[in-house]
Structures are given as structure tokens and as C-alpha cells.
Structure 1
Amino acid sequence: MYISINRKKMISWFICIFLIMVLSLSYLFIVTHKKHQCTGDKCPICEQLQLAEHIIAQIKTAVLPAIILLVSNIFVYESKKNVHIFHESDTLIKRKVRLND
């Protein structure tokens, strides 16, 4: 169980790093090649620019819901943790104290 948790964390870190690299390299390619000398129809640079814009658009549609889910999960986790602290009461019965006279 412990190994699989570390493996999942490592895989998720690799995916995050990969997505950040893809986004940053796509933006960099768009910025550096936006004002290129277009050769006309079937320009390979224009095709790559369209591909980079498409990749960015696809990743953006997946990132926004993921951020919303992450924030909502953190909010729910923190609210449950705080509710658990306030509802927990320390009584003699819970401590199993005998009340003999």
C-alpha cells in the first residue's frame, strides 16, 4: 500500500511537470513564431502555430475544472476537520470512568 501511494504521487508530479512544460513551450513557440515570413498555402510554421493553439485550448478546458475540484475538495476537507474538532466532547463515559459512590 505504501509503495503504491508513493508511485501515484510520483506519477501525478510527472504529469503536472509535463503539462507545465507543454503549456510553456507552446506559448514560447507562439510568441517567437507569430511574426514569421509565411510562405503561403500549407505553411509548416502556420500549421505548428495552429497545433500549439489547439493544445493550449484543450489543456485550458481540462485545467479549470481540475482547479475548481481541487479548491472544493480542500474546502470540504478543512470544514470537516473543523467540525470534527468542535463536535468532539470529552466526557467521563468516553473515558470509561466508573462513577461509584
Structure 2
Amino acid sequence: MNARKRGNALLLCIGLVLVLLVSSAFLIQEADHDCCGEDCPICRTIAMTTALMRALCMIAAAQLIWSVLAVSRSAFHIPGSVRLHAEGTPVSRKTRIND
């Protein structure tokens, strides 16, 4: 199961890199195109590609921040169960409340 997850993660990373490379190649190729007017399909595609790349970069930045936090938590030996709020509910702690 663990090898399958790693394989899926590798395929996802390869797909992400390919999308970014193809998008970058399209933007480079069509950077100096002759616009044919207000409804230019190339300009719309460039706008969509730019939006896609921005979204993917934001996702990558969020993942990087999450990874740094996870590594720093393990580096300082902070257990994962440490939270800012109280642990559990009265039911999970088997506390009887008689009102």
C-alpha cells in the first residue's frame, strides 16, 4: 500500500511538472502574437494559462509551508496531539454530566 501511495504521488508530481512546462512553453511561444481583436482566442488562452500557473504556484507554496511546519514540529519533538484547544469531548472522556 505504501509503494502504491508513493507511485501515485510520483505520478502526480510528474503531471504537475509537465503542466507547468507546457504552460510555460505556450506562454513563451505566444508572447509576441498578433492580436486579432477583442475576442482573441490566444489572449484568452494566455489569461487562462497565467491563472492556472498562479493557482499551481499558490498550491505549491502552501504545500511548502505545510512541509516546513511538519519538519519543524518533528525537529523540536512537539507531538502531533498538542493543540491550542482542550482535547476531546465529555463523551470521549466518558464524563457524566448530570444536570
Give the TM-score normalised by the residue count of structure 2: 0.70
Compare CA radii of gyration and give the structure with the larger one. Answer: 1
Q: Which structure shows the bigger proportion of residues in helix conformation?
A: 1
Partner of 2:4: 7
- What's the CA shift for 1:79? 3.4
The one-character-per-residue Cα deviations of 1:49-83 (angstroms, maximum 9, x if unpaired) are: 01110101111221111001112222222333xxx
Residue type of the partner of 2:57? Answer: K
Give the TM-score normalised by the residue count of structure 1: 0.69
Match of 1:32 among 29, 33, 36: 29
More contact order relative to length (CA 8 Å, sep ≥ 6): 1
* Structure 1 outlier segments of 4+, above 4 Å: none
Unaligned runs of 5+ in 2: 78-99
Question: Distance between the aligned counterparts of 2:62 and 2:47, measured in 1?
Answer: 24
Partner of 2:17: 20
Question: Distance between the aligned counterparts of 1:36 and 1:8, measured in 2?
Answer: 43
Identity of aligned residues (%): 23
Question: Distance between the aligned counterparts of 1:34 and 1:40, measured in 2?
Answer: 16
- The alignment status of 1:65 with 2:62, answered yes or no, reads yes
